[in-house]
Amino acid sequence: MKYRSSESTDISEKYLAPTDVKQYVFCPRVTYFTRVMRLKPVMGSQQEAGKKTHKKLTDLEKRRQSVLKSDLNLDIRNKEFEISLKCHELEMHGRLDMLLETKDGEFIPVEFKSMISRKGQLHVDHKYQLVTLSLLLECNLGCIVRRGIIHYIPEELTIQFPISHSIKRRTKFVMKSIQNMILSGNIPDGRRECSMQKVGCGFADYCRDL
């Protein structure tokens, strides 16, 4: 299947990415540091190991007949991996880990996460990231995405969740908030939890200096 995203264009400077949305939901300052100040996070060994685990699962999933070793009650026709997507209307671009197509013609986006879930539930920032990718899919394929899947690799936990019109609207609001922050250059408030406990973040040292 050919996607509009396959055009070779450098849009990383102008367009937002689903990671920007994920980071903004986690903590707006992370997106401020990456998009306004152009800083790079300090990556720990755990994050680097996570990237390797992510690739191993992708390679394994390509060979499997079932999906993620789980009984998802899905009649799958096709699986595609590492799909690059972009949408001029949203000014977004991103890469989807896996796309499932059912025999009924439904498209279901899937993301792999090299970390544990939130006590068996989705992390909110992961959900918004996948909804952003769903909006990109809708722009590229002219379909309506009604559900998505996030797989937490360490737990082998696969979670399906409905993607409603309301969360799509909220995700677009987050996109607009990021764009306004970039245009204004104003630094947002940090994650409230950071003042109460240590939160894993590659920008902790920068944030403490503000």
Q: Please state, rounded to an integer, the average pLDDT across all residues of the chain.
A: 85
Pairing of strands 157-162, 92-102: unpaired
E strand residue ranges, the chain = 76-87, 92-102, 107-113, 147-152, 157-162
Assign 165 a pLDDT band (cuts: 50, 70, 90).
Answer: very high
Q: Which CATH code of 3.40.50.1010, 3.90.320.10, 3.40.50.10310, 3.40.640.10 fits the domain covering 21-209? A: 3.90.320.10
- Cβ partners under 8 Å of residue 77, min gap 6: 101, 102, 103
* Residue located via tokens 């993301």: 111
| 19-54 per-position pLDDT tens digit | 999 999 999 999 999 999 998 887 654 455 555 666
Alpha helices in 27-150 (DSSP H): 28-35, 45-63, 124-141
Residue 73 is predicted with a pLDDT of 83
pTM of the model: 0.85
What single DSSP character describes residue 138? H
Spatial separation of the C-alpha atoms in residues 200 and 181, rounded to whole Å:
23
Residue 5 scores a pLDDT above 50: no
Q: 18 with 133: CB under 8 angstroms? A: yes
| Residue 161 pLDDT greater than 80, yes or no | yes
Residue tagged 């996607």 (tokens): 3
DSSP single-letter state for residue 86: E
How many Cα atoms within 13 Å fall on the side-chain side of residue 169? 3
